Amino acid sequence: MPAPTPKLPIHEKRDAIAEAIRRHQIVVVSGDTGSGKTTQLPQMCHEALQGKGLIGCTQPRRVAAVSLAKRVAEECRCKLGELVGVQVRFLDQTSETTRIKFMTDGILLAETRGDRQLRKYDAIIVDEAHERTLNIDFTLGYLHNLLERRRDLKVIISSATLDVERFSKFFRDAPIIEIEGRTFPVEDTYLPAESSREDLASHVTRGVESIRETDRQGDILVFLPGEREIQETADLLTGQQFPKTQILPLYARLSLKDQQGVFKSSPGQQRIVLATNVAETSITIPGIVYVIDSGLARINRYDARTHIQRLLTERISKASARQRRGRCGRVSNGVCVRLYDEDDFERRTGFTDPEIRRTSLAGVILQMKSLRLPPIEDFPFIDPPQRRLVSEGYKQLQELGALDDDKHLTDIGREMARLPIDPCLSKMLIHARDHHDVIFPWMLVIVSGLATQDPQERPREKREIADAAHKGWQDPKSDFMARLHLWRALCEHLDDRGQSRKNQLRRFCGKSFLNYRRVMEWLGVAREIAGLMKSGKLPYKSKPPTEGDYLPIHESLLAGIPRGAAAKEERREYKSGTAQQFMIFPASGLSKAKKLPEWLLGFELVETSRLFARQVAAIEPEWLENAVPHLCRYTYSHPQWDSKQGAVYAKEHVSCVGLRILADRRVHLARIHPVEARKTFIAEALVTGDLRTR
């Protein structure tokens, strides 16, 4: 195998790494940014094991897995899919000749379902382990247990120089090989906001202008929290009309073609790459001289008390700030411009909380149950999850019917675990199939849409035009029905098998302000789920849903997210059973209605200037009785003898997930359960004289 050029710092440790892999079952490799560990370790492992078996290399993100596979294939002078392959969701470029396989950690975990021992792998490299995502921690715990049974399996943990001692200790004092990065000096400058009113796009533009005052050639990498901020900043920078400048966005859901554009040099032009933290560690963009760090990132946090998963924009940790700084100074002296002051930096936390300590654990617990792994409380995680998150995870699965009262997996739970989506979404599908099979195909469409990002786009300078384009499929009562209207519009450009006719779909997306990549992901997830469930076909050419389909569709949605129900308060606010007050998201089709519905179902809550519900629909509270009868609580009052009927009647009050959904419903006493309740009411009525006997 030819050695790649130019020579990288890791090559000085080639012999030591090869010897460690041959002598030890587990090796921890620690390397600074620019050391070459991500591209070279798989090749060194392949050489050390003499190329006999398959080497799996996991990455946290799809964009990194694909770009790295292409890079390593070039270095190995082979076509992608031969010696070097890649597998991510909806893309599998591997073959029988593949010996180095790049993949997301989610793909590896999915393979454990059919191959508990991971027998086809001789070695597994867990890259970017310091990111400590939920999948990474789960993978490390799974391998920790597996190594006892697979003495022949080699595991290499690859991490930045952050807390690697913990990885070594976790794997029984595994040897650590440290690699120094090849970097040039980096100067730190601070450029805080001029005022509280300066928006982020303007702030970044000011940072770019400060760089261009002295250098109009060195490439710039800007770290921003999300796609919206990237789009807004790109629009503003484009409007500045900087000469000989190329503005390139980079985020996980960008098309592969556009993603690859950031790796190509542009002679005579200054590149400004606007990226999320996908560029923080997973990939290396060549030629970066300057980094502009917003100091912000999108962080998922789950509140066990309110049952809300929030995607919050938060200040990054010192460790993340140092990682961002390390993306420059690799080809020449670099400059890191931080859009905050030095005191702000010093006050930040040392490390970002691992995801397992800040996210809902229902999905993890469900998968662990289905794989017959030890209980989550006993599973070897590097950082044990918080008890309240564990308790809430069990509670949520019991509410969904996936676990019984003894925390054992139910038949429904086994079905839910087979689907690669959140448990609440899989429950919606199972409820629709079992109770309303007529609308099951439409639920496949809605659920797959909820499992992917909304494809609708609103460019800053064309919002009114985009809104007009999107208005064609908005629904005045339900954003979920709007998803179906959009689906039908897309299907006009697909054939009976759901394939695009001569790029018609791409053209339609372009003129309709729809993100083509997200639309294709929606279609891909829908096909995947439909194939796994085998009990329904996607409605490519079906008749539109009728008014009569509204109730069963939304009842099925309630079965998966009963806590999304909320009652209208004063003004335009709603209140859920967990006492959370929120408003309808401005982009919703319901937000501008003169008369808002009294009851609402909200799929997710997002916090910006305040708390908003996104993806909402008008519902009737009594639908909860059919959707989640096991969560309903009944109380009774005013028992009375009806002489005409010759029976006792009472007033029934129903509450569900902390909300009173029905009151004063007149019911026959015989309907009141359990029997002891009837006895109590009869006794009460006899004492008060309301019940007379013959």
Q: Quick one: pLDDT at residue 679?
A: 57
Question: For the residues of 548-602, what is the DSSP string, one character each?
Answer: GGHHHHHHHHHHH-GGGEEEE-STT-EEETT--EEEE-TTSTTTT-SS--SEEEE
Q: Quick one: pLDDT at residue 460?
A: 63
Tell me which architecture the domain covering 186-354 has in CATH: 3-Layer(aba) Sandwich (3.40)
Give the separation between CA 596 and CA 10, rounded to whole angstroms: 62
Q: Quick one: pLDDT at residue 4?
A: 45
Task: Give the pLDDT confidence of 478-534 residue by residue, as tens digits.
Answer: 999 999 999 999 999 988 777 877 688 999 999 999 988 889 999 999 999 999 998
Determine whether 185 is exposed, middle or buried from the number of CB atoms within 10 Å of its CB (0-12, 13-18, 19+): exposed
Beta bridge partners of 514: 456
Beta bridge partners of 490: none
Residues of the chain with pLDDT under 50: 1-5, 673-674, 676, 687, 689, 691-694
Tokens of 236: 């503003």
Give the separation between CA 523 and CA 541, rounded to whole angstroms: 14
Domains 9-179 and 186-354 alike in fold: yes
Q: Quick one: pLDDT at residue 257?
A: 67
CB 158 within 8 A of CB 33: no
Give the separation between CA 242 and CA 568, rounded to whole angstroms: 50
Q: Quick one: pLDDT at residue 282?
A: 59
Q: Which residues of 393-423 are buried (b: 16+ CB within 10 A; e: fewer)?
A: bbebbbbbbbbeeeeebbebbebbbebbbbb
Task: Give the pLDDT confidence of 526-553 residue by residue, as tens digits.
Answer: 999 999 998 778 998 888 899 999 999 9
Nearest in space to 396 (alpha carbons), one of 550, 562, 153, 173:
562
Task: Give the pLDDT confidence of 580-603 residue by residue, as tens digits.
Answer: 889 999 889 898 888 999 999 999
Extents of the domains making up the chain? 9-179, 186-354, 360-410, 419-616, 628-688
Cis peptide bond N-terminal to 629, omega within 30: no
Question: For the residues of 188-239, what is the DSSP string, one character each?
Answer: EEE---SSTT--HHHHHHHHHHHHHTT-SSSEEEEE-SSHHHHHHHHHHHHH
Give the separation between CA 572 and CA 611, rounded to whole angstroms: 12
CB 603 within 8 A of CB 614: yes
Name the fold adopted by 9-179.
Answer: Rossmann fold (3.40.50)
Tokens of 502: 């001569």
